[in-house]
Amino acid sequence: MDYDIAGRWAVVCAASRGLGYGCAEALAAQGVNLVINARTPEALETAAEALRRSAPGVEVRTVPGDIGTGEVQGELLEACPQVDILVNNAGGPPAGDFRDWGSEAWSSALRQNMLTPVELIKATVDSMAERGFGRIVNITSSSVKAPIAALGLSNGARSGLTGFVAGIARQPRLASRNVTINNLLPGSFATRRLTDSLEAGSRDSGRDVEELAREARQEIPAGRFGTPEEFGAACAFLCSAQAGYVTGQNLLIDGGAYPGTF
Ligand code: NAP
């Protein structure tokens, strides 16, 4: 299907690898020009080169730096001629015991996973409405629906973003102007983040990483981890012209891992 978004511009945050890269790649395949970001300049340039090779007609610009800073947010917006599509993403907060987290840990998690998306939405959404087209996708987590105790910082910050989005996505001045805001909730995807957490689990338990990975896969009805390409495909659909009637939703992509009816 032609998603009818070729020639549009997207800002994709935290996109040098993993789920953010998967979203950038799927949008580029639809002919969307990109401004991508990540902290490590070399990895970001390598990702941009790969995107240019995968979609030769598409323009790819890069803005290195921490997306949690106002300066980098400003540079991203400046680098994009007009933001038609915004994919909010950042690294996830560390796992741990809530008794060990002070205000610094909370500020960092809230800044990365709640306040940064809120700022970028605030900066872009009204001009999207004026132009009559806008697509915002926030990468959150399945932990919003099924909290993971050790990921309390993530559960808290992402739930805050989810509540915020639920309210504003339904504002008639946005929804009636073809501006949609949705959240994508990844379950377990084969990315560096997952590898890092399996390795941490292995260090803590003294068990083999592959054994832990096998157990994790067995808990997923699909019997495997998801791929960034599958994640990106869902993102591209939500950004398509055809998805204009889908807003304020939380879409789990988790191979059936969440056991509830709703
Ligand atoms: P990943 O493979 O580790 O990739 C993270 C990307 O974000 C990299 O490009 C990284 O590049 C960039 N990044 C990290 N912190 C950043 C910052 N402060 N500013 C700008 N860029 C930053 O992780 P992932 O699996 O794609 O995860 C993406 C998000 O989904 C995370 O918030 C994660 O918690 C969440 N999530 C993932 C899963 C999963 O199974 N993979 C499940 C649930 C939720 P640099 O390091 O160079 O900045």
Say what the pLDDT of residue 147 is.
94
CA distances to 19, 226, 255 from 188, in Å: 11, 6, 8
Contact 82, 120 (CB under 8 A): no
Say what the pLDDT of residue 226 is.
98
Atom 9 in ligand 1: residue holding the nearest Cα: 16
Say what the pLDDT of residue 97 is.
95
Say what the pLDDT of residue 211 is.
97
Give 124-147 pLDDT, tens digit per residue: 999 999 999 999 999 999 999 999
> What type of residue sits at position 127?
S
Please give the distance, rounded to the nearest whole angstrom, from the Cα atom of residue 14 to the centre of ligand 1: 6
> Whose CA is closest to 124, among 174, 89, 160, 158?
174
- Which regions in the chain score pLDDT beneath 70? none
Cβ(88) to ligand 1 under 6 A? no
Q: Encoding tokens for residue 103?
A: 């205000």
Q: How many beta carbons lie within 10 A of that of residue 243, not counting itself?
A: 18
Cα separation of 56 and 12, whole Å? 18
Please give the distance, rounded to the nearest whole angstrom, from the Cα atom of residue 82 to the centre of ligand 1: 25
What value, to the nearest 5°, has the Cα angle with vertex 68 and ends 138 and 84? 45
Cα separation of 161 and 172, whole Å? 19
Q: Encoding tokens for residue 58?
A: 């598409």
What is the best residue among 11, 17, 113, 114 to mutate for testing ligand 1's pocket, by most ligand atoms within 8 Å of CB? 17
Say what the pLDDT of residue 77 is.
98
User: In b/e form, how buried is each residue of 31-68, taking b as 16+ CB within 10 angstroms?
Assistant: bbbbbbbbbeeeebeebbebbeeebeebebbbbbbbbb
Cβ(18) to ligand 1 under 6 A? yes
Nearest atom (ligand 1) to Cα of 19: 26
Say what the pLDDT of residue 1 is.
87
